[in-house]
């Protein structure tokens, strides 16, 4: 699947080491060809939680059936 710069994506797996859960939203900030993406995840207040290099298999595009939700931040030790 091809992703575009500044596209909003959905994380498909938990990443507790970064305080992230499956379903969290991120924004594609760089595309490294077909096998890599740089994705930024931010809190509701706009603070960057994580900027990660991920595989396109780690995220999916938003769907018209998606519902937004809010959850408390998982603190990373």
What is the per-residue DSSP string for 7-51? -EEEE-S-BGGGTB-TT-EEEEEEE-GGG-EEEEEE-TTS-EEEE
Report if pTM > 0.85: yes
1: pLDDT confidence band, cut at 50, 70 and 90? confident
Lookup result for tokens 């305080």 = 19
Question: What are the tens digits of pLDDT across the range 20-63?
Answer: 999 999 999 999 988 999 999 999 999 999 999 999 999 999 99
């Amino acid at each position: 699947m091809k992703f575009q710069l500044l596209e909003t994506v959905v994380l498909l797996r938990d990443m507790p080491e970064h305080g992230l859960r499956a379903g969290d939203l991120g924004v594609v900030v760089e595309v490294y060809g077909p096998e890599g993406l740089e994705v930024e995840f931010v809190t509701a207040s706009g603070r960057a939680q994580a900027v990660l290099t991920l595989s396109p298999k780690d995220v999916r595009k938003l769907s018209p059936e998606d519902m937004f939700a809010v959850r408390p931040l998982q603190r990373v030790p």
